Structure 1
Amino acid sequence: MGKIIAIANQKGGVGKTTTSVNLAASLGVLEKKVLLIDADPQANATSGLGIDVETIEVGSYQLLEHTAKAEDCIISTDSPNVDIIPAHIDLVAIEIELVDKDQREYMMKQAISHLREQYDYILIDCAPSLGLLTLNALTASDSVIIPIQCEYFALEGLGKLLNTIKSVQKIHNKDLDIEGMLLTMYDQRLRLSNQVVEEVQKHFSDMVFETIIQRNVRLGEAPSYGESIIKYDVSSKGASNYLSLAKEIINKNS
């Protein structure tokens, strides 16, 4: 039975999509079968795996609308063992369209739960908001990874996200777990980076992944080539960080 993991934080620019794409690719090269669901209207995870967003005919929008079956939305990628349900800008409209539907928080869960049989991991790249899209992802997931960038406002908004997770646990998905908090964009030369790491580890000790994602130029370059860091430069610091995270998650779940 595959595990469904949402990658969520309502703050933008914390490394959600970078983590979704590169964790998927890392799990794939470690011979796990992975499905990445792009649930962000910006569709960066889709283009980050080399898929032309303009060519998308069915994707996460149709999946949530229940106008297409999950199987019809899946595209295979160049990354070994990684498939994707792509996103398109039309996903922007979904929040408004779902508002008056019955069971609107369960649309994704209903659409994807049977896919567990086919994959080891299903990762959901969430939008940078706490709207209906993210709520659908959290309701459908077994756990959530929270990327936190090692910068000044890192902990701002974290309380709000944790409250959202609590209320999802209470109302929609009592089994939702925190897979872990992932420190991203770490620069060991900066005192601030080190302070954030200490602060997060002090407050959330066991919930923080041992792996820390360091600032890495290659990580920033890879998406412009439509490639994961594993394909773009497997010898880079970014690749070894994400491979280490993938191993940590596999060990935790084995």
Structure 2
Amino acid sequence: MGKVISIANQKGGVGKTTTSVNLAASLAFYNKRVLLIDFDAQGSATTSLGINRSQLKGNLYDALMGDKNLEEVMLSIPVLDKYHMHMVPATIDLAGIDMKLIGLDDHVYILDKLIRKVKDSYDYVLIDCAPALGISTLNALYASDSVLIPIQCQFLAIDGLTQLLNTVRVVQKNLKINHRELTIEGVLLTMLDKRTKAGWAIVNEVKEYFQEGVFKTFITSNVAAQVAPTYGVPILTYAPKSSAASLYKSLAKELIENNENKH
């Protein structure tokens, strides 16, 4: 049975989409069966993987509204010659999704019901969440086994996280009633400028706050990772020998080991 991981932080610009796309590709590199779900109306993960949203015959919105199932809107994404992952794309249709979902029965479980039908086909299902704590992000959290929180190594990095953690606690409490669990997969430090004392100060602050919950892998500031989306491919395809590719593979390996050691 696949593990469902939300990549969430209501603060924008922390590297959520970059993490989602490149972690998914790196898990595929390690022969894991991966499904990436773009749950952001901006569709950044979708465009980062070279998908022309205007030519899509279906997207996540159609599945959430019950017009299609997830398999019908999935696309196969090449990573390197022998590796592939699947993706559920997003379009601007998702812009008003919170208002649409709130009118439905069990409105926080809509995505969960969709994922349950396909999760056995995957080792990992990653959800790229919008930078907000609305109904859509709640849907992602209720569908997930864990949440991965990217934090950029800049001033006020932890500021505002209390709200996300409080939301996670509410979901944890509610899921327990159904004998399910939501854990924190880990905190990922992103955009670290190794040359600055300020960057390392944030690293120490986050480690002090989250203790063992911080991934050992840090994602440093890297030009290749910023350029890859303009070519519509993950970093493993764009620059497989770059330091950024090595870092995301390291993160994927750490995540796999953390999960395999628990079983």
1:114 Cα shift? 2.2
When the two structures are aligned, how many residues end up with a matched partner? 254
Residue aligned with 1:4, SS: strand
Contact in 1 for aligned 2:60/2:73 (Cα 8 Å): yes
Offset at residue 62 of structure 1 (A):
1.3
In 1, the alpha carbon distance for the partners of 2:71 and 2:198 equals: 45
**Residue 39 of structure 1 corresponds to which residue in structure 2?**
39
Q: Which TM-score applies when normalising by structure 1?
A: 0.98
Match of 2:208 in 1: 202
Which amino acid counterpart does residue 212 of structure 2 have in structure 1?
D
In structure 2, the residue matched to 1:192 is: 198
Instruction: Give the equivalent residue in structure 2 for 1:93.
Output: 96
Q: In structure 2, what residue type is equivalent to 1:17?
A: T
Which of 138, 146, 149 pairs up with 1:146? 149
Paired residues of 1:25 and 1:228 also in contact (CA < 8 A): yes
Q: For residue 172 of structure 1, report the CA deviation from its aligned partner.
A: 4.1
Q: Structure 1, residues 192-246: CA drift from partner, whole Å, max 9, x if none?
A: 1100000011111111000000000001000011010000001111111100000
1:5 corresponds to? 5
* Contact 2:175/2:181, CA 8 A, preserved across alignment: no
Question: Match for residue 72 of structure 2?
Answer: 72
SS, match of residue 127 in structure 2: strand
| 3-state SS, counterpart of residue 217 of structure 2 | strand
**In 2, Cα distance between equivalents of 1:243 and 1:13:** 22
What is the Cα deviation at residue 81 of structure 1? 2.4
Aligned to 2:170: 167
Q: Residues of 1 paired with 2:213 and 2:64: CA distance?
A: 30
Structure-1 separation of matches of 2:35 and 2:185: 17
- Tell me the secondary structure at the aligned position of residue 126 of structure 2: strand
For 1:123, the equivalent position in structure 2 comes to: 126
Query: Normalized against structure 2, the TM-score is what?
Result: 0.95
**Which of these residues, 78, 81, 85, is aligned with residue 82 of structure 1?**
85
Structure 1 counterpart of 2:45, which letter? A
Between the two proteins, what is the percent identity of the paired residues? 49
Measure, in 2, the Cα distance between the counterparts of 1:171 and 1:127.
22
Preserved contact between residue 154 and residue 199 of structure 2 (Cα < 8 Å): yes
Cα distance, 1:57 vs structure 2: 2.4
Instruction: Please report the RMSD computed on the Cα atoms of aligned residues, expressed in angstroms.
Output: 0.9
Preserved contact between residue 105 and residue 132 of structure 1 (Cα < 8 Å): yes
CA distance in 1, matches of 2:86, 2:104: 29
Task: Look up the match of 1:178.
Answer: 184
Q: Which runs of 4+ in 1 moved over 6 A?
A: none
Q: Is the contact made by 2:175 and 2:182 (CA closer than 8 Å) also made in structure 1? A: no
Report the counterpart of residue 15 of structure 2 in structure 1. 15
The C-alpha deviation readout for 1:153-182, integer Å capped at 9, x for no partner, is: 211111111001001111246500000000
**Structure-2 separation of matches of 1:57 and 1:13:** 29
In 2, the alpha carbon distance for the partners of 1:57 and 1:134 equals: 24
CA distance in 1, matches of 2:54, 2:156: 35
Q: Indicate if the aligned counterparts of 2:109 and 2:143 stay in contact, CA closer than 8 A.
A: yes
Code of the aligned partner of 1:31 = N
- Per the alignment, in what secondary structure is the counterpart of residue 237 of structure 2? helix
Instruction: List alignment gaps of at least 5 residues for structure 1.
Output: none
Q: Is the 8 A contact 1:32 1:81 kept in 2?
A: no
In 1, Cα distance between equivalents of 2:56 and 2:92: 10
For residue 40 of structure 2, what is the amino acid of its counterpart?
A: D
